[in-house]
A = this chain, B = another copy of it.
């Protein structure tokens, strides 16, 4: 009879050496963070990926904020030290007891336990604010729609889902502008990817186009085989200088880009991953039944980075 080896079972997975792939999605209020997040969570499965909103780290509830001279867009209005600590713990595979800000009631509710998941998304106003927080992410995205588009999105959401009037929303946007300029928009400089939706001139009511800046801060999938730089193409790749003069790859995706063309790009990205499953169909969904090709490509590139981070 062969010698039976003793199997030493581990009570828990080795948290100490675990690294959990983490994605930051930063951007101002109503910039599209939830939409991007939703598709990624659906693609990976909510049992594997946990998404955290940095609003949960609000220091004051809605009632208390009324008496303050600054808004929730000010770092002092948030427990950013604690957020940083929690991101570090999650990155190391440790559980956290996460505070909860309730957007319906404006109150700070009882905290919830977050067990170490396979992937973490942190979306909100401040994920890229501090150096220690940025160090926790494997890939980071900044959502940079032009202000008129963001205003339109915010009015739509806050009047239909949060019970405000259009005038209230516009007044709030105006009040917050100095803080958005001082604290939110500077985070654009720290993202690996910047996504900017834009209306197509002459087609303002049609689907939005988008420019996806892929910064050389991380290794993006090579798209030069599948994309040319001819700007007459519905999807094209150009070498640009970013606002700050730094070199960057820019993928432009026209709102009317045909599905077969984006499929070719998606498959090129996906093929670099060497996975058996096809490209998740859920990507690109803006709302049930409404698809955005630029959104699909942006989500797929992020998914590429998350899956890669899980392997290395």
Contacts and interface: CB of A to CB of B under 8 A. Distances in A.
Contacts of A99: 97, 110-111
A108 interface: yes
A77 interface: no
Interface stretch (A78-86, A134-142, A157-165, A179-187): A78-86
A177 interface: no
A67 interface: no
A85 to B, nearest CB: 7
A89 interface: yes
Interface string A69-110: 000000000010110010001000011110100000001111
Nearest to A83: B97
B113 A110 contact: no
Contacts of A95: 81-82, 85
Nearest to A59: B113
A83 to B, nearest CB: 9
Contacts of A97: 79, 82, 97, 99, 111
Nearest to A113: B79
A79 to B, nearest CB: 6
A231 B113 CA distance: 53
A234 B15 CA distance: 54
Nearest 9 Cβ contacts at the A-B interface: A108-B110, A82-B97, A111-B111, A99-B111, A97-B99, A81-B95, A79-B97, A79-B113, A82-B95
Interface of A: 59, 61, 79, 81-82, 85, 89, 94-97, 99, 107-111, 113
Given A85-B89, A108-B110, A109-B110, 13 more contacts: A61-B110, A79-B97, A81-B95, A82-B95, A82-B97, A85-B94, A85-B95, A85-B96, A97-B97, A97-B99, A99-B110, A110-B110, A111-B111
